[in-house]
């Protein structure tokens, strides 16, 4: 989400094609992660954080997927080798919705139970 909005040149051709041709969704925790990046100064945006997030959702017609009991349980899977709870929830969301995951995170790309595109 953040790369698409602020650094689209970093996306692979496959990722760009996916963004341009498929219905898109994101885990609700991704919104929180972007907000944290902005508040810590790791990402600079010209609008207020809330407006920036609303603009991303609107521009890509993103469906925001909420954390369900199934997603919360999947996120505790021993398959996840790292402790980042947001990444675990993002991957579990993709698994629960049988969706491909667009991510630059190398740890997520090693997961066997989800197709990760980058």
| pLDDT: which is higher, 3 or 35 | 35
Is residue 87 a contact partner of residue 71, using CB atoms and an 8 Å limit? no
**What is the pLDDT, as a whole number, of residue 94?**
96
* Residue 64 pLDDT class (50, 70, 90 cuts): very high
Could you give the dihedral angle defined by the CA atoms of residues 19, 2, 115 and 69, in that order, rounded to the nearest 10 degrees?
-110
**What is the pLDDT, as a whole number, of residue 81?**
72
Is residue 80 a contact partner of residue 91, using CB atoms and an 8 Å limit? yes
Pick the CATH number of 2-117 from 3.40.50.1010, 3.40.190.150, 3.10.20.30, 3.30.70.20: 3.40.50.1010
Question: The pTM is what?
Answer: 0.88
CA 109/CA 107 separation, integer angstroms: 5
Question: What residues are paired with 27 via a beta bridge?
Answer: 65
All structural domains of the chain with their residue ranges: 2-117
């Amino acid at each position: 989400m953040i790369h698409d909005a602020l650094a689209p040149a970093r996306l692979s051709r496959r990722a760009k094609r996916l963004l341009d041709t498929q219905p898109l969704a994101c885990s609700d925790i991704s919104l929180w992660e972007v907000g944290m990046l902005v508040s810590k100064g790791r990402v600079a945006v010209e609008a207020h954080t809330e407006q920036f997030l609303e603009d991303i959702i609107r521009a890509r017609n993103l469906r925001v997927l909420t954390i369900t009991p199934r997603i919360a349980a999947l996120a505790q899977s021993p398959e996840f080798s790292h402790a980042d709870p947001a990444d675990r929830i993002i991957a579990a969301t993709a698994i629960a919705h049988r969706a491909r995951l667009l991510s630059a995170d190398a740890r997520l790309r090693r997961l066997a139970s989800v197709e990760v595109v980058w």
